């Protein structure tokens, strides 16, 4: 991400944060534009270019009533969605991830010894991102506001692996979820380091439909451990693959967006962006 892109991203992130904190007063275009020191016209154009939807629409998508509506719908359909196959427009992403391979007990225990991991940095609609892969699939993805810190996170996750900075086909295919029609993508494979419980939670996250949200309690019920909401929360917080494993689609039962490893502003942006994509798809059908 170049300096200008980074500057624009920070401005839009500031605007999103302001909208999120002040949604109850329904701030208008002029008010938000003033907060980020842009003219309403320039702000409207820049925001729409970055987020793919107007500031007014985005405000609607991230309002608490919208979150509660999504939550209600998700609680009804999550179990049904778990058994569905095939993509419906751009409404399903999880079928691209039907193959999740956990690392062997030896690989898990020894921190990835004998693994060769390729990694690269790329731009996404939500900022710079680090993506890493083994020969079997994507093993790590993290938003990288600080590239050195992100790289340290990768090394911490696989302390004994071998690394090389290299873009491969597995990474390119995975990153195309940001820019392509998902029906045209090849299957995205994941090669994850986690306990059996973590893998089960992460696989369940993939079954939350695009444009919907769920809660920790609903995830716990889905995997057959209705009293393990806290453990589910811990597993979600340990998600090693940003965006592709959509931990951003899990919110609190009150409808509040809640925490996110890569920042609440970014989580809010992703939820709004995904809702916009579903809305745009429905409007063309």
Catalytic residues: 247
Residue 186 is classified by DSSP as P
Q: Between helices 264-284 and 3-22, what is the axis angle to 10°?
A: 90
**Between vectors from CA 99 to CA 114 and to CA 260, what angle results, nearest 5°?**
85
User: How far are the Cα atoms of 51, 94, 154, 240, 267 from residue 143, in angstroms, in the given order?
Assistant: 17, 21, 11, 11, 11
**Between vectors from CA 247 to CA 138 and to CA 165, what angle results, nearest 5°?**
30
**SS3 per residue for 217-284:** HHHHHHCCCCCCHHHHHHHHHCCCECCCCCHHHEECCCCCCCCCCCCHHHHHHHHHHHHHHHHHHHHH
| DSSP track, 148-183 | HHHHHHHHHHSTT-EEEE---HHHHHHHGGGTS-GG
Can you read off the two tokens belonging to residue 252? 């609190």
Helix (H, G, I), strand (E, B) or coil at 136: coil
Find out whether 208 and 153 touch, Cβ atoms under 8 Å. no
Residue keyed to tokens 């999550």: 78
Residue 43, number of CB atoms within 10 A of its CB:
22
């Amino acid at each position: 991400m170049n300096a200008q892109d980074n500057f624009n991203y920070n401005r839009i992130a500031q605007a999103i944060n302001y909208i999120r904190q002040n949604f109850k007063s329904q701030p208008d275009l002029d008010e938000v534009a003033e907060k980020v020191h842009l003219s309403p016209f320039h702000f409207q154009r820049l925001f729409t270019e970055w987020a793919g939807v107007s500031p007014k629409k985005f405000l609607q998508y991230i309002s608490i009533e919208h979150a509660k509506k999504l939550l209600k719908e998700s609680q009804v359909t999550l179990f049904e969605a778990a058994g569905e196959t095939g993509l419906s427009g751009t409404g399903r992403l999880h079928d691209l991830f039907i193959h999740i391979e956990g690392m062997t007990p030896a690989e898990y225990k020894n921190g990835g010894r004998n693994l060769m991991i390729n990694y690269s940095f790329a731009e996404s609609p939500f900022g710079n991102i680090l993506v890493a892969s083994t020969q079997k699939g994507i093993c790590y993805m993290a938003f990288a506001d600080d590239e050195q810190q992100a790289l340290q996170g990768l090394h911490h996750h696989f302390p004994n692996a071998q690394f090389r900075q290299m873009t491969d086909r597995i990474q390119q295919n995975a990153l195309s979820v940001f820019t392509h029609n998902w029906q045209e993508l090849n299957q995205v494979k994941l090669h994850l380091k986690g306990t059996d419980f973590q893998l089960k939670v992460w696989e369940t996250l993939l079954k939350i439909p695009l444009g919907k949200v769920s809660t920790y309690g609903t995830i716990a019920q889905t995997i057959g451990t209705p009293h393990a909401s806290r453990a589910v929360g811990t597993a979600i917080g340990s998600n090693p693959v940003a965006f592709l494993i959509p931990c951003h689609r899990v919110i609190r039962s009150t409808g509040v967006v809640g925490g996110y490893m890569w920042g609440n502003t970014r989580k809010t942006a992703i939820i709004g962006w995904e809702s916009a994509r579903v809305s745009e798809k429905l409007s063309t059908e």
